[in-house]
Structure 1
Amino acid sequence: MKIASWNINSVRFRIEIVEQFLREEAPDVLCLQETKVIDGDFPEAPFRALGYDHVIKHGQRMHHGVAIIARVPVVADDRFDWQANQEARHVGVRLPNGVRLENVYVPAGGDLPDREVNPKFGQKLDFLARMTEWAKALQHPTILTGDFNIAPLECDVWSHKQLINTVSHTAIEIEALAGLHAAHDWVDLGRHFIPAPQRNFTWWSYRAKDWTAGDRGRRLDHMWASREVADKAVSHKVCEPCRSWLKPSDHVPLVTEFAF
């Protein structure tokens, strides 16, 4: 089973490259973040035309939004409010083999890494704290994937020295993500298959006219798994060419294949 994750930054605006990705990679399940559409306007028809008959949505107008698209039967049964304000940032399903698949879009956190002057940063840390408490109670084999908006390792950014005080790579965020990781003894599949300090980026800013020129990337997108699920993982890749497709997202997809 191939499971993909992609912050698409508006599924309607970029539906053509989503279709291209599905034709080329043919994942069994695609987790999307930042869909930016209410459930009633979600473009289901293009997915169904490609054989993806299971569309599980948690949308919101103009902002946020997550969805799980599958060509295998899934059961929808959770939408956690880790933001505590009803923003559409999580949707989870149960796969045919019983494994849980949780798709999350962690808040970006604003520009300043100080919760006193930037409430969005505090919301991000509180979101991660709620996720950590959830992970401590997990009793099912689980895959947790999505846009975590944190690059935890020094080699997960183009310049640790220049970004150490930049939101997504600050010490307090890295510590919060480490707490989430320890809460369930997750396996970070991105670094399992592409060990540090190898280059492994999933996001490049739109500000650069040529994203390849300076390669100023960050690893903000992740796929983690319970250890018993991680043992079934046979490959993992970052689909960098998608960053150069027509009307690209600033993120690229991850694809992990499992032997189940």
Structure 2
Amino acid sequence: MPLTLATWNINSVRLRLPIVRRFIGEYQPDIVCLQETKCPDDQFPTADLRALGYEHIVVNGQKGYHGVAVLSRLPIASVERGLFCRHGHSRHLAVTLGEAAGSASGLTIHNFYVPAGGDEPDPEINDKFAHKLHFLDCMEAAPGNGTLRSQRAVLVGDLNIAPLETDVWSHKALLSVVSHTPVEVERFGRVMRAGAWIDAMRQCIPAEQKLYTWWSYRSPDWAAADKGRRLDHVWVSQDLGAAVDDIRVIKEARGWDRPSDHVPVLATLQL
């Protein structure tokens, strides 16, 4: 069966609800994973999103900052919230779908919002960067303690790292800019290897091709400048590598009314 799954840093779900409705109306994904929802659980627009066909909604939010949510048309059998953040931020949510996801063992979906890391790539003088590296270290260690399962699993979210030279508009210009520094890219690779994850986006879109999911609000004409970065990711476990049928970056969403600075990434799996 085909399963369509979207990941999107929405940068305030209540503020961007009109474009969430637009995206869902145009693309009809089975699962939507949102990051940076920026609202406590009791203020999440659950009723509005259920009206769009997502009967099963799980949120992990906090007032004004961070927050992740999973919207599903399929039943959710179980929910986990991993302890990846030393500051207690709401940055992870995992749901396991039942047999409706095409297998008796179900399918686990991890939704992450990795800390951005501030402006200075030095953990000695920038605690935000130190926090980011610590968070990644916790993600790397997680497969060993069972928290981050990687069998019949998908990991998506705003991981706030653009690992490849073709994931940024200029490798040379961004080598010392947070999100593309060598220390972050090295940590990113360690997390992937620890869980034996497959980069589904680059499995479908050649690594030689420029690929972005984020364009800064600071650019007066983001489309003309096209100075983007691939900060949003879709990983799959080894047993799902052959199931990845298609990956689409919905670039036009960056030009919608009152947009997020990130755009949705839509993955199709044949389960």
Give the alignment's TM-score, normalised by structure 2: 0.94
Aligned-partner SS, 1:87: coil
Q: Which residue does the alignment assign to 2:71?
A: 69
Name structure 1 gaps, 5 residues minimum: none
> Which whole-Å deviations, capped at 9, do the CAs of 1:187-230 have from their partners, x for residues lacking one?
10111111111011000000011111110000000000001112
Matched, 1:82 2:84: yes
Q: Which of these residues, 245, 251, 264, is aligned with residue 234 of structure 1?
A: 245
Which residues of 2 match residues 35-46 of structure 1 at below 5 A? 35-46=37-48
Q: Which residue does the alignment assign to 1:140?
A: 151
Which residues of 2 match residues 80-119 of structure 1 at below 5 A? 80-96=82-98, 97=101, 98-119=106-127
Q: Which residue does the alignment assign to 1:149?
A: 160
Aligned-partner SS, 1:57: strand
Runs of 4+ in 1 over 3 A off after TM superposition: 136-139
Give the alignment's TM-score, normalised by structure 1: 0.98
Give 1:57's aligned amino acid.
V
Q: Which residue does the alignment assign to 1:123?
A: 131
Aligned-partner SS, 2:115: coil
Cα offset, 1:38, TM superposition: 0.2
Q: Which of these residues, 163, 168, 174, is aligned with residue 179 of structure 2?
A: 168
Give the fraction of aligned pairs with identical amino acids, expressed as a percent. Answer: 47
Query: What do you get for the CA RMSD once the two structures are aligned?
Result: 1.0
2: CA distance between counterparts of 1:91 and 1:46?
21
Q: Which residue does the alignment assign to 1:255?
A: 266
Give 2:136's aligned amino acid.
L
| Count of paired positions | 260
Q: Which residue does the alignment assign to 2:21?
A: 19
Name structure 2 gaps, 5 residues minimum: none
Cα offset, 1:48, TM superposition: 1.1
> Which whole-Å deviations, capped at 9, do the CAs of 1:43-87 have from their partners, x for residues lacking one?
012211111111100000000000000111113421112112210
- Partners of 1:64 and 1:88 within 8 A in 2: yes
Cα offset, 1:91, TM superposition: 0.5
- Partners of 1:135 and 1:180 within 8 A in 2: no
Which stretch of the first structure deviates more once superposed, 19-28 or 74-83?
74-83
